[in-house]
Amino acid sequence: MDIKKIEEHINDVLRETDFKNLGERKVGKVRDIYTMPNKIILVSTDRHSSFDRIIAHVPFKGEVLNQISAFWFEKTKDIIQNHVLAIPDPNILVAKKCKPLPIEAIVRGYITGVTSTSLWTHYKDGKRDFGNFVLPEGLQKNQKLPEPVFTPSTKFEEHDRTLSPQEIVAEGLMTKELVEKVEKTAKELFLRGQEIALSHGLILVDTKYEFGQDEKGELILIDEIHTPDSSRYWKAGSYDERFNSGEEPEYFDKEFLRIWFKDHCDPYKDERLPEAPVELVAELSRRYIEIYETITGKLFEHDFNTPILERITKNLEKIK
């Protein structure tokens, strides 16, 4: 979809929902979550979150993220059962209810990052032993690791902490057997993701998974999988040349919108934020669509004839 078409529909966005017949509503950063007696309805909106607040509404973003997850849930269901019951609308996922585990299962295939918690930052500062794996000497930033590593973090705390599997068990968060099963499954999912992404010209660099347990105590994959909001992707075709010359890889970049806000206000303190420029929001939308088409191999299609809320309301009638 070209940028002019997106700009024409810059205000055709799903900001929020308030369906009275779907049970209790919880508003997340990006999704509206409705809890029914035997299922959960996840509605992916077009809200774009950064600095712990909504900074823009990006056309088609909710559809893109929901459909990318749908693609990956289908491609990995032979590895582990997932929570998908139905996808009655591009923005909606009907999910099985389960008990979420208290950790995020983070898997990394490359040593990279710039934050204080990133693998590269720790490595650059001299850390080699990470509890459940030891990294060799001589690694360079953005280098592929000998094998993917598991770096879980807490999920229900104010500030997430990275923990080793041993620390998870020691703190009584999960049993040793369950942690081992989560690690094994997460690595299998990641390797499948890398294989499929590479066949479409992308490198899956790192990602996070969320797991739960169903009524029988069986492990189940929940939330989302391999979306550009939960995963880092690089372009495979230019990776070797850029790495060998010390350049940063080509990547799916959302940072330009964050940078604009940091340059034009204090996004952490200002009560009201300025409106994001139309051209930047449209470009971000275009990039979401591009990565959807690259990952899935399908053209992105949107129903321009029916308002989004009207379409969703109609499709929700299919849910029993």
pLDDT for residue 104: 96
Fold type of domain 99-244 = D-amino Acid Aminotransferase; Chain A, domain 1 (3.30.470)
pLDDT for residue 146: 96
Q: What is the pLDDT along the chain (320 residues), one digit of tens a residue?
A: 899 999 999 999 999 999 999 999 999 999 999 999 989 999 999 999 999 899 999 999 999 999 999 999 999 999 999 999 999 999 999 999 999 999 999 999 999 998 888 899 999 999 999 999 999 999 999 999 999 999 999 987 777 888 999 999 999 999 999 999 999 999 999 999 999 999 999 999 999 999 999 999 999 999 999 999 999 999 999 999 999 999 999 998 888 999 999 999 999 999 999 999 999 999 999 999 999 999 999 999 999 999 999 999 999 998 87
pLDDT for residue 32: 97
- Which DSSP string do the residues of the chain spell out, in sequence order? --HHHHHHTTT--------TTS-EEEE-SSEEEEE-SSEEEEEE-SEEEETTEEEEE-TTHHHHHHHHHHHHHHHHTTTS-BSEEEEEETTEEEEE--EE-SEEEEEEEEE---STTSHHHHHHTT--B-SS-BPPTT--TTEEEEEEEE--EESSSSS--B--HHHHHHTTSS-HHHHHHHHHHHHHHHHHHHHHHHHTTEEEEEEEEEEEE-TT--EEEES--S-TTTEEEEESTTHHHHHHTTPPPPB---HHHHHHHHHHS-TTT-SSPPPPPHHHHHHHHHHHHHHHHHHHSS-----SSS-HHHHHHHHHTT--
pLDDT for residue 156: 77
pLDDT for residue 114: 86
| Domain residue ranges of the chain, discontinuous segments joined by + | 99-244
